[in-house]
A and B are shown apart, each in its own frame.
Chain A
Amino acid sequence: DAGVIQSPRHEVTEMGQEVTLRCKPISGHDYLFWYRQTMMRGLELLIYFNNNVPIDDSGMPEDRFSAKMPNASFSTLKIQPSEPRDSAVYFCASSRTGGNQPQHFGDGTRLSIL
């Protein structure tokens, strides 16, 4: 089975540019999660969806961040405008419905904002 697929794997861009990260969850998984990992803050939840509907976005740091899930097999995380402090590894994870099913992580996008 294919795992969670994220693209791009690496992104380097200049401050002020728009950045779009993409995620394809595991087929049949109803939950999709976006996490960010930095040395200072560790792994932190940004937002998660259930059946394409955002459930909790309290972790989204600022209005510059937005996430969408237009269908069951695709989600985007957008940063506009980007800032150097947004540099991090962004992970997408998915899980089945059914009372705390394991979350499976993608390989992440390493984002560098210059």
Chain B
Amino acid sequence: GENVEQHPSTLSVQEGDSAVIKCTYSDSASNYFPWYKQELGKRPQLIIDIRSNVGEKKDQRIAVTLNKTAKHFSLHITETQPEDSAVYFCAASIGSGGGADGLTFGKGTHLIIQP
């Protein structure tokens, strides 16, 4: 089955700096890569996703890049703010045709924004 590795497990950055979280996956058939943000005691919330036919996607201060050859994808957050502090999860899934598949998650990155 699919295996997703995520690094680092903890990331501390100064407010205003950029943060980068990296993930690798094992199954070359995976074609959908979402990122979720989870605050303490809350549900995971989708912040951005990318499909395998796209190399990069950006939404305001958040961007995701995908390298299918190397089987890795990354989350980039620019101009970090205190409210960005949370645990971030990457995930991968194989969706064939019009269907969907369950997500395989990385172990999470605890992002700490230092004031």
Instruction: Show the binding face of A for B, using Cβ within 8 Å.
Output: 31, 33, 35, 42-45, 48, 50, 56, 59, 91, 95, 97-108
Asked whether A50 and B43 contact (CB < 8 A) given A42-B107, A42-B108, A99-B95, the answer is no
* Main DSSP-derived SS at the A contact region: strand
Whole-angstrom distance between the alpha carbons of A101 and B108 in the complex? 22
Chain B residues whose CB sits within 8 angstroms of the CB of A104 once the complex forms: 46
Q: Mark B26-60, 1 if CB is under 8 A from A, else 0.
A: 00000110101000001111100101000000000
Chain B residues with CB under 8 A of A31:
100
Chain A minimum-CB-distance residue to B104: A45
What residues on A are CB-neighbors of B115 within 8 Å? none
A45 and B45 contact, Cβ closer than 8 Å, known pairs A100-B93, A100-B95: no
Cross-chain pairs A/B with CB under 8 angstroms, 17 sampled: A35-B103, A43-B103, A43-B108, A44-B105, A48-B101, A48-B102, A50-B99, A91-B44, A99-B97, A99-B99, A100-B93, A102-B46, A102-B49, A105-B44, A106-B43, A107-B42, A108-B43
Shortest CB-to-CB span from B73 to chain A, Å, is 14
- From the candidates B34, B98, B104, name the one contacting A103 in the complex (CB within 8 A): B34
Contacts of B93 in A (CB 8 A): 100
In the complex, what residues of B have CB within 8 A of residue A45's CB? 102-104
Residue B89 at the chain A interface, CB threshold 8 Å? yes
B102 engages A100 (CB within 8 Å): no
A35 vs chain B, min Cβ distance (A): 8
- A39 → B minimal CB distance (Å): 10
Chain A residues, CB < 8 A from B42? 107
With the chains together, A104 CA to B99 CA distance in Å? 16
Cα of A38 to Cα of B97 in the assembled complex, Å: 32
Q: Evaluate whether A105 and B45 lie within 8 angstroms (CB atoms) in the complex, with A95-B100, A99-B98 already known.
A: yes
